[in-house]
Amino acid sequence: MRILIAEDDQVLADALLRSLRTSGAAVDHVANGSQADTALMTHSEFDLLILDLGLPNLHGIEILKRLRARGSQLPVLVLTAADSVEERVKGLDHGADDYMAKPFSLQELEARVRALTRRGMGATSNTIKHGPLVYDQAGRVATIDGKMVELSARELGLLEVLLQRAGRLVSKDQLVERLCEWGEEVSLNAIEVYIHRLRKKIEKGPVRIATVRGLGYCLEKIP
């Protein structure tokens, strides 16, 4: 999961970054409206935008207007001051999918993030299944035939991306975009290493990660 946070309160932004990274997301942060608008225009890999309406340089409502005018369906969770009912209404009317009034519970925010990203991907629950392979996005636990598979944080992220696109080809570049934050150096060779490690752990059952040379990978069921 890849998330962009647009929040000018550095203390709150740091808390959001820690919380969401702990839950397994790759998270990037901008501190003003102009940076947010530029990031959304130049990067298409995000699964969710967490948007503070009261940003300097460019108001959150204007960011929403521009985002939707470009035809983007990116889920947006708006953060607002507790007493700004008018702004909350404006945010929802201009394309926000949900809002939270400050102060808020980080645990509730994580749950709303999961709900919005599920909705954005057309899913109805936190559980993704592919044959006997099951991944619980909330608990970040993978099982095969009910037995837990021990995976590192990077392997879990990789598995999540492949499961969300099961049966479809995913390129190495797409995997880097989905798994890595700005400034995080992960080479295509490193992706090959992670795929190799993940294969050894999940291909004990009737699933496999097929390699299409020069193009990418596909999670498949073995007939």
Helix (H) or strand (E) holding 101: strand 98-102
Pseudo-torsion of CA 144, 147, 150, 154, nearest 10°?
30
Report the alpha-carbon distance of residue 165 to residue 17 in Å, rounded.
26
Q: Which fold has domain 2-120?
A: Rossmann fold (3.40.50)
Residues 197-216: pLDDT tens digits? Answer: 999 998 876 889 999 988 89
pTM here is 0.83
Report the alpha-carbon distance of residue 36 to residue 121 in Å, rounded.
22
Q: Which fold has domain 127-221?
A: Arc Repressor Mutant, subunit A (1.10.10)
Could you tell me which of 43, 76, 23 has the C-alpha nearest to residue 181? Answer: 43
Residues 52-82: pLDDT tens digits? Answer: 999 999 999 999 999 999 999 999 999 988 6
| 2-120 and 127-221, same CATH topology | no
**Model pLDDT, residue 94:** 92
**Model pLDDT, residue 122:** 63
Domain residue ranges of the chain, discontinuous segments joined by +: 2-120, 127-221
What confidence category does residue 108 fall into, taking pLDDT thresholds of 50, 70 and 90? very high
Report the alpha-carbon distance of residue 157 to residue 180 in Å, rounded.
10
